[in-house]
């Protein structure tokens, strides 16, 4: 019975996620409507196109993504590819480009570019594994899945 009652809120959650994405687009983030940004994530774009997020990307809770270097005041755009997972509490620094099909571990501080199809983690983030296969929203595919 509890599972059925939680499923009643699915439509409300989908509407709220769409509103969150519209709000981010209004604030200068370039993103399709099929991303899933957490309500507690903080994505700061100082101008239109400062932060670009690819389709089917999930941005977890308490994530910080910003495009302006606060020491020099320099604008450096951030790009996050399609089908990525950005772990909770992670930080994406200005000027970073994350390729498609990537996973950023929880609490990682990404200061350098991340190649496509890799897993990064740590502070500073380093490549933990390459040539991975992921599905929508950065979900790892097992060997027996097509």
Burial group, residue 33, by CB count within 10 angstroms (0-12, 13-18, 19+): exposed
d(CA 108, CA 121): 5
d(CA 78, CA 115): 14
- The closest alpha carbon to 144, from 130, 133, 131, belongs to 133
- Would strands 109-110 and 64-66 be described as parallel, antiparallel, or unpaired? unpaired
d(CA 110, CA 136): 21
By the 8 A CB rule, do 60 and 106 touch?
yes
Candidate list 3, 7, 70, 144, residue with the active-site label: 70
22 is catalytic: no
Residues annotated as catalytic (active site), given as ranges = 70
């Amino acid at each position: 019975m509890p599972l059925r009652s939680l499923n009643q809120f699915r439509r409300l959650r989908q509407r709220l996620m769409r509103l969150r994405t519209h709000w981010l687009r209004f604030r200068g983030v370039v993103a399709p409507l099929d991303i899933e940004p957490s309500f507690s994530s903080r994505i700061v774009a100082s101008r239109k196109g400062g932060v670009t997020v690819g389709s089917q990307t999930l941005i977890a809770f308490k994530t910080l993504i910003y495009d302006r270097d606060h020491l020099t005041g320099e604008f450096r755009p951030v790009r996050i590819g399609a089908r990525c997972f950005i772990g909770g509490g992670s930080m994406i620094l200005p000027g970073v480009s994350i390729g498609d099909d990537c996973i950023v571990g929880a609490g990682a501080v990404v200061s350098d570019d991340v190649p496509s199809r890799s897993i990064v983690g740590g502070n500073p983030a380093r490549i933990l594994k390459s040539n991975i296969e992921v599905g929508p929203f950065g979900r790892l595919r097992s060997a027996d899945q097509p």
